[in-house]
Amino acid sequence: MNREKALRIVREKLTERRYIHTIGVMETSIVLAKKYGVDENKAELAAIFHDYAKFRDKEEMRNIILDQNMPQDLLTHHDELWHAPVGAYLVEKEVGITDKEVLEAIKCHTSGKINMTTLDKVLYVADYIEPGRDFPGVEEVRESAESSLDIALIQAMKNTISYLLKRNQPVYPDTFHAYNDMTMKVKGRKLS
């Protein structure tokens, strides 16, 4: 699917602000894909559709999680997580994208997972650092992404976990597992 067609499809599902964010994620994903040897077309497609289900009705997303036997613990955590796995499902069913790597990157872009592929990491980090993002810690992650995708990913996850803990919010288990998995893989490298 070409970029123009993909953007036309997704634009109908997003607010103007979220569409601008999606363009930023797309552009950042392409830059990171080039830098870290990922298929640029896959990175672009995953980025364009990463928030496809962001504004779907919560009850519809809940029903898809139940009907499609997605992890039930999603339902006990913040519904902000739901659009990623539900989005991957809907992108396949409604848009017809069947590339498993693209769908998996969409699926885990909010939580991370153990054994993330480089495409998964590119989308996760691009979503975190795209130019429209402005919050404490984002500049450090942007700087890290220049030299190490893994370190940038770890910093982004650490910042997210810390943000949730400071607000007494639960952290989705996949995020802890992904963080632990990544820190073990880069053991010996500077993490701060």
Phi, psi of 151 (to 5 degrees): -65, -40
Q: What number is the average pLDDT over the span 165-186? A: 94
Q: What number is the average pLDDT over the span 56-79? A: 94
Residue 1 has pLDDT above 70, yes or no: yes
- Per-residue pLDDT at 191: 54
- Rounded to whole angstroms, the Cα distance separating 46 from 88 reads 9
pLDDT band at 190 (very low <50, low <70, confident <90, very high): low
Q: What number is the average pLDDT over the span 37-58? A: 98
The model's pLDDT over 89-122, given as tens digits with 9 standing for 90+, comes to: 999 999 999 999 999 999 999 999 999 999 999 9
Q: What number is the average pLDDT over the span 152-166? A: 96
pLDDT band at 54 (very low <50, low <70, confident <90, very high): very high
- Per-residue pLDDT at 187: 79
- Rounded to whole angstroms, the Cα distance separating 43 from 108 reads 14
Q: Which tokens belong to 16?
A: 């103007």
Residue 34 has pLDDT above 90, yes or no: yes
Average pLDDT, the chain: 95
Q: Where are the alpha helices (DSSP H) in 50-114?
A: 58-67, 83-90, 100-107
Residue 53 has pLDDT above 80, yes or no: yes
> Is the CB of residue 130 less than 8 Å from the CB of residue 22?
no
- Per-residue pLDDT at 47: 98
- Per-residue pLDDT at 78: 87
- Per-residue pLDDT at 188: 60
